[in-house]
Amino acid sequence: MFDYQLKLSKRRKTVAIRVTPEQVVVLAPENVCHVSMRQWLATKQSWVKQQQLKLLDAPSLQNPMRSKTLLIFGVHYQIVYDAASTSSLCHQKKMILLPQSLADNEKKLRATLIQLLVNELVKYLDEHLIQYAKAIKCSISSVKVREYKSRWGSCSSKKALTFNCLLLGAPKHMINYVIVHELAHCHVLAHNAHFWAIVEKHFQAHKQARRWFKENGKSLMIE
């Protein structure tokens, strides 16, 4: 039997298993029959093992403090600390230049990198969003860039677009897919056949792009 942490709840009606990188958690009703539960868990050993192996193979979050690198447009840029008072990106040398004072302050380092990603994605959107909007024939009320934990972009009913700054770590054609995806929502908010027809007209490889984000999206996140 695998090791697990048991969490009981008055509201829960069924037994469930949650596998995380750190542990296996079993969620069960407060009045659960422990004998029956252990018998059922014994039948799930193979499934738990498979989930643990998947987690081992899954992309890990970025840790710039440890790795001294950060993904920019699908490429690992080297983080370099110097005496400069400001932070900047050097695309030619694939470098991120940061003040030396950030080298030992993980919280400030992360905040600085997030702001760099925001600023750089804004520049990229300024160059590409308008041309895609013209092609898809949609008007936009506003555009914002911020950090999301579980989405790459959003479009409101008022055609206000928001993009995840962590997108800047993806290859440019993947960023373009998200742009097309959100612009298509200016016409159709639902993910129905009409919506996907608009997306496919302007980004034919949308299925491959969706698969790429499913398989690699986690690797764009920053601890």
Q: What is the pLDDT of residues 194-221, one digit of tens each?
A: 999 999 999 999 999 999 999 899 999 9
Please give the average per-residue pLDDT across 172-193, as a whole number: 97
Q: What is the pLDDT of residues 30-62, one digit of tens each?
A: 999 999 999 999 999 999 999 888 777 666 789
87 has pLDDT over 80:
yes
User: With the C-alpha atoms ordered 186, 125, 210, 147, is the resulting torsion angle positive or negative?
Assistant: negative
pLDDT at 58: 62
Pairing of strands 88-90, 95-99: antiparallel
109 has pLDDT over 90:
yes
The single residue listed with the structure tokens 């009981």 is 8
22 has pLDDT over 80:
no
Question: pTM of this prediction?
Answer: 0.75
pLDDT at 57: 66
Measured between alpha carbons, how far is 112 from 109 in angstroms, rounded to an integer?
A: 5
Instruction: Output the CA angle 211-147-150, nearest 5 degrees.
Output: 40
Residue 11 per-residue DSSP state: S
Please give the average per-residue pLDDT across 179-187, as a whole number: 97
Task: Specify the domain boundaries for CATH 3.30.2010.10 within the chain.
Answer: 106-220
Please give the average per-residue pLDDT across 113-127, as a whole number: 97
**Mean pLDDT taken over the chain:** 93
Please give the average per-residue pLDDT across 15-29, as a whole number: 90
Q: What's the CATH class of domain 106-220?
A: alpha beta
Nearest to 179 by CA among 145, 218, 150, 149: 145
80 has pLDDT over 80:
yes
